[in-house]
Amino acid sequence: MKTGRNALRSNANFAQNLWGKMSRSSLRALRELTERHRLSVPSGDVQYLDGRWYVTHTGLLSLALRRRCAGIRTALQKDVSNPTASRWVFKATVYKSIGSCGFVGYGDADPTNVSTLVRGCELRIAETRAVNRALRKAYGIGLCSVEELGSFSASPKPPAFPPSASSHYGSNGSGNGQPRLRDQLCLLIRQHNLDPTLVKAYAADFCGTETLREASRDLVESFIAQLAASAKKDRDALVCKLNSYAHPVEAKP
């Protein structure tokens, strides 16, 4: 990512294009994240929810890579986990350098603190939360991570889209000054670090067509609004849903 004023300007412009005009305090906080930790809004390193900044798992891993993190170790805490109740607790240790004592973080997940959309994924969510907490301690990130949030209760507002038209996803233009639907979808994929192939498969299923290109503009607009809301509310849940569209690879004899 660019450094200095260009990096801050890029982050601020991108953030306000996504989430609207921000307060001075929010922009000051973004400046600190940019200058101190080199976190990038376009790369999906941070999220802005209800007037507050949250770091993402992607952003924390990117930061660890830049700081040459020596390793991350996770361990299931069997004594306090309860598989029958789908309650899992993980311990994560981040080693900033070889031979360091490590920074420890714990993460837990059960059906009461995750979205209903990711029931059955509690084990993976618990591990991610533990890693996030350990990374935040190691690198001095005071922000809570998005993945550590429970079932986010606020109703996110979908982004504004161009007026409906009879044109289709593949051929809609931007003559009204708004970005094309294709660009909006690509932006969401980059922002939330989603798998483009799985998103297209999900979109086609949502629109009831063989391919996304065959869907009407109205349906694509609805899908983009749904995708944006889901990613903002609970990215873990969205990723789990997208993974359901992955085709299993058959083992070769």
The predicted structure's pLDDT at residue 134: 97
Name 94's Cβ contacts closer than 8 Å, sequence gap at least 6. 64, 69, 71, 72, 102, 103, 105, 131, 134, 135, 137, 138
> What is each CA distance from 75 to 69, 81, 103, 116, 130, in whole angstroms?
18, 12, 14, 25, 10
The predicted structure's pLDDT at residue 84: 94
The predicted structure's pLDDT at residue 175: 39
Alpha helix segments (H runs only) across the chain: 4-19, 24-37, 57-66, 122-138, 181-191, 196-207, 217-233, 235-243
CA distance 45 to 60: 7
C-beta of residue 90 within 8 angstroms of C-beta of residue 66 = no
The predicted structure's pLDDT at residue 247: 62
C-beta of residue 149 within 8 angstroms of C-beta of residue 68 = no
Per-residue pLDDT of the chain in tens (253 residues, 90 and over written 9): 445 678 888 889 888 888 888 999 999 999 999 999 999 988 889 989 888 999 999 999 999 999 999 999 999 999 999 999 999 999 999 999 998 899 999 999 999 888 776 778 899 999 999 999 999 999 999 899 988 887 543 333 333 333 333 334 444 444 333 346 777 788 888 888 888 888 888 888 888 888 778 887 778 887 888 888 888 888 888 888 888 877 654 444 4
Q: Which of 136, 40, 44 is nearest to 96 (CA)?
A: 136
C-beta of residue 245 within 8 angstroms of C-beta of residue 205 = yes
The predicted structure's pLDDT at residue 93: 97
Give the number of other Cβ atoms within 10 Å of residue 123's Cβ: 17
CA distance 175 to 64: 42
Location of structure tokens 């361990």: 75
- Ordered by start, the domain boundaries in the chain are 4-43, 65-148, 155-253
The 8-class DSSP code of residue 252 comes to P
- List beta partners, residue 103: 94
**CATH number for the domain formed by residue range(s) 65-148:** 3.30.160
